[in-house]
Amino acid sequence: MNMIIAVENIKCGGCASTIMNKMKTLDDITDVKVDIEDGLVTIEGNKSRRDDYAAELASIGYPEVGSVHGLGSAGAKAKSFVSCAVGRMSD
């Protein structure tokens, strides 16, 4: 089943690559697409694990829109910066 999760901090193709590579390693996920411009991650997977998928996205620096407040947001942005750089090196 397709799920769409709106996330923060997607800036480039490196970010998209990082998200796709990480999410595809999880059980139950058969496909991942990233819309960089709109900040959307479409996941083909187990609908009952949506919260797990959102938590995994947050752990790599791409928290769900509206889920991070205050100082946590700064930490998420730092993680996404690192993920972005790593994604660019692996492209």
What's the pLDDT score for residue 66?
A: 85
**Residue 82, SS3 per DSSP:** helix
Nearest to 86 by CA among 61, 65, 66: 61
In a structure prediction context, what are the per-residue pLDDT tens digits for the chain, which is 91 residues long?
899 999 998 989 999 999 999 999 998 999 999 999 999 999 999 999 999 999 999 988 899 998 854 346 566 666 666 766 666 665 5
Instruction: Give the residue extent of every domain in the chain.
Output: 2-90
What's the pLDDT score for residue 3?
A: 96
Cα–Cα–Cα angle for 82, 70, 9, rounded to 5 degrees: 35
Query: 2-90 in CATH: which number?
Result: 3.30.70.100
Structure tokens, 36: 């960089």
- What gap in Å lies between CA 3 and CA 23, rounded to an integer? 13
